Protein backbone atom coordinates (compact mmCIF):
# COMPACT_ATOMS: atom_id res chain seq x y z
CA UNK A 1 0.00 0.00 0.00
CA UNK A 2 1.25 3.46 -0.88
CA UNK A 3 0.79 6.34 1.52
CA UNK A 4 1.23 10.02 0.81
CA UNK A 5 2.19 12.82 3.21
CA UNK A 6 1.47 16.31 1.88
CA UNK A 7 3.50 17.92 4.69
CA UNK A 8 6.66 15.95 3.78
CA UNK A 9 6.17 16.88 0.15
CA UNK A 10 5.75 20.58 0.91
CA UNK A 11 8.74 20.65 3.25
CA UNK A 12 10.80 18.52 0.83
CA UNK A 13 11.64 16.06 3.62
CA UNK A 14 15.15 14.60 3.50
CA UNK A 15 13.94 11.00 4.00
CA UNK A 16 11.26 11.24 1.31
CA UNK A 17 11.33 14.34 -0.89
CA UNK A 18 8.36 13.20 -3.01
CA UNK A 19 6.09 12.58 0.00
CA UNK A 20 5.18 9.08 -1.24
CA UNK A 21 5.88 6.05 0.92
CA UNK A 22 5.32 2.40 0.13
CA UNK A 23 5.20 -0.68 2.29
CA UNK A 24 3.16 0.90 5.11
CA UNK A 25 0.32 -0.93 6.83
CA UNK A 26 -3.26 0.28 6.58
CA UNK A 27 -3.27 1.12 10.29
CA UNK A 28 -0.58 3.81 9.88
CA UNK A 29 -2.30 7.20 9.70
CA UNK A 30 0.47 9.57 10.79
CA UNK A 31 3.76 10.16 9.00
CA UNK A 32 6.74 8.78 10.94
CA UNK A 33 8.93 11.68 9.73
CA UNK A 34 6.80 14.75 10.42
CA UNK A 35 3.62 13.54 12.14
CA UNK A 36 1.43 14.72 9.25
CA UNK A 37 -1.62 12.81 8.06
CA UNK A 38 -0.94 9.91 5.69
CA UNK A 39 -3.35 9.47 2.75
CA UNK A 40 -3.83 6.09 1.05
CA UNK A 41 -3.03 6.02 -2.68
CA UNK A 42 -4.32 3.23 -4.93
CA UNK A 43 -1.20 2.75 -7.06
CA UNK A 44 1.21 -0.19 -7.57
CA UNK A 45 4.25 0.13 -5.29
CA UNK A 46 6.52 -1.47 -7.89
CA UNK A 47 5.52 1.19 -10.39
CA UNK A 48 6.14 4.01 -7.91
CA UNK A 49 9.64 2.65 -7.26
CA UNK A 50 10.31 2.59 -11.02
CA UNK A 51 8.96 6.11 -11.50
CA UNK A 52 11.11 7.44 -8.63
CA UNK A 53 14.16 5.90 -10.35
CA UNK A 54 13.35 8.10 -13.35
CA UNK A 55 12.47 11.27 -11.42
CA UNK A 56 11.44 12.36 -7.92
CA UNK A 57 9.61 15.38 -9.32
CA UNK A 58 6.23 15.34 -7.58
CA UNK A 59 4.38 16.80 -10.58
CA UNK A 60 5.69 13.94 -12.71
CA UNK A 61 4.68 11.33 -10.11
CA UNK A 62 1.22 12.87 -9.72
CA UNK A 63 0.69 12.94 -13.49
CA UNK A 64 1.63 9.24 -13.70
CA UNK A 65 -0.85 8.42 -10.90
CA UNK A 66 -3.52 10.39 -12.76
CA UNK A 67 -2.65 8.61 -16.02
CA UNK A 68 -2.95 5.27 -14.18
CA UNK A 69 -6.50 6.19 -13.19
CA UNK A 70 -7.67 7.75 -16.47
CA UNK A 71 -5.89 5.95 -19.33
CA UNK A 72 -4.62 2.47 -18.38
CA UNK A 73 -3.37 1.61 -21.88
CA UNK A 74 -1.21 4.73 -22.20
CA UNK A 75 -0.07 4.23 -18.61
CA UNK A 76 1.08 0.65 -19.28
CA UNK A 77 2.93 1.78 -22.41
CA UNK A 78 4.80 4.50 -20.49
CA UNK A 79 5.59 2.15 -17.60
CA UNK A 80 7.02 -0.38 -20.03
CA UNK A 81 9.32 2.32 -21.42
CA UNK A 82 10.34 3.42 -17.92
CA UNK A 83 11.12 -0.15 -16.82
CA UNK A 84 13.31 -0.60 -19.90
CA UNK A 85 15.10 2.68 -19.20
CA UNK A 86 15.74 1.79 -15.55
CA UNK A 87 17.02 -1.67 -16.55
CA UNK A 88 19.40 -0.11 -19.09
CA UNK A 89 20.69 2.33 -16.46
CA UNK A 90 21.37 -0.56 -14.08
CA UNK A 91 23.19 -2.50 -16.80
CA UNK A 92 25.37 0.52 -17.62
CA UNK A 93 26.19 0.98 -13.93
CA UNK A 94 27.15 -2.69 -13.59
CA UNK A 95 29.30 -2.52 -16.73
CA UNK A 96 31.09 0.60 -15.48
CA UNK A 97 31.73 -0.94 -12.06
CA UNK A 98 33.42 -3.97 -13.68
CA UNK A 99 35.86 -1.84 -15.70
CA UNK A 100 39.46 -2.02 -14.53
CA UNK A 101 40.86 1.37 -13.55
CA UNK A 102 44.19 2.68 -12.40
CA UNK A 103 44.03 3.22 -8.62
CA UNK A 104 46.19 6.35 -8.89
CA UNK A 105 44.65 8.32 -11.77
CA UNK A 106 41.35 6.41 -12.38
CA UNK A 107 42.26 5.92 -16.03
CA UNK A 108 40.69 2.96 -17.83
CA UNK A 109 43.71 2.83 -20.15
CA UNK A 110 45.45 -0.11 -18.45
CA UNK A 111 47.01 -3.30 -19.79
CA UNK A 112 47.78 -6.65 -18.26
CA UNK A 113 51.43 -7.27 -17.32
CA UNK A 114 52.71 -10.41 -19.02
CA UNK A 115 54.13 -13.33 -17.07
CA UNK A 116 57.49 -12.77 -18.74
CA UNK A 117 57.63 -9.15 -17.55
CA UNK A 118 56.70 -10.26 -14.02
CA UNK A 119 59.44 -12.91 -14.02
CA UNK A 120 62.02 -10.42 -15.32
CA UNK A 121 61.07 -7.90 -12.63
CA UNK A 122 61.26 -10.57 -9.93
CA UNK A 123 64.65 -11.72 -11.19
CA UNK A 124 66.04 -8.18 -11.28
CA UNK A 125 64.58 -6.77 -8.05
CA UNK A 126 63.25 -9.78 -6.15
CA UNK A 127 60.18 -9.32 -3.95
CA UNK A 128 60.62 -5.53 -4.12
CA UNK A 129 59.71 -5.52 -7.81
CA UNK A 130 56.53 -3.59 -8.43
CA UNK A 131 56.00 -5.47 -11.70
CA UNK A 132 56.15 -8.86 -9.98
CA UNK A 133 53.44 -7.83 -7.49
CA UNK A 134 51.08 -6.14 -9.97
CA UNK A 135 48.67 -7.54 -12.55
CA UNK A 136 48.04 -4.38 -14.58
CA UNK A 137 50.05 -1.37 -15.73
CA UNK A 138 48.60 2.11 -16.27
CA UNK A 139 49.41 3.48 -19.71
CA UNK A 140 48.84 7.12 -18.76
- Per residue in 31-75, pLDDT (tens digit) is 877 888 888 888 888 898 899 888 878 889 899 999 999 999 999
pLDDT of residue 75: 95
In tens, the pLDDT along 67-80 reads 999 999 999 999 99
Per-residue pLDDT at 72:
94
67, 75 contact by CB (below 8 A): yes
What pLDDT, on a 0 to 100 scale, did the predictor assign at position 68?
A: 94
> What is the per-residue pLDDT for 119?
64
CB neighbour list of residue 112: distance below 8 Å, 6 or more residues apart: 135, 136, 137
Burial class (CB in 10 A: 0-12, 13-18, 19+), 126: exposed
Instruction: For residues 90 and 57, give the distance between their C-alpha atoms in angstroms, rounded to a whole number.
Output: 20
Any idea what the Cα angle at residue 62 is, between residues 42 and 35, rounded to 5°? Answer: 70
Amino acid sequence: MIKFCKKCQEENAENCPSGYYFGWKDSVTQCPNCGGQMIDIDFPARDLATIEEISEDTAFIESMIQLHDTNPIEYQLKMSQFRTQVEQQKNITQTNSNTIKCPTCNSTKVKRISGTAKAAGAAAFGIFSKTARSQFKCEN
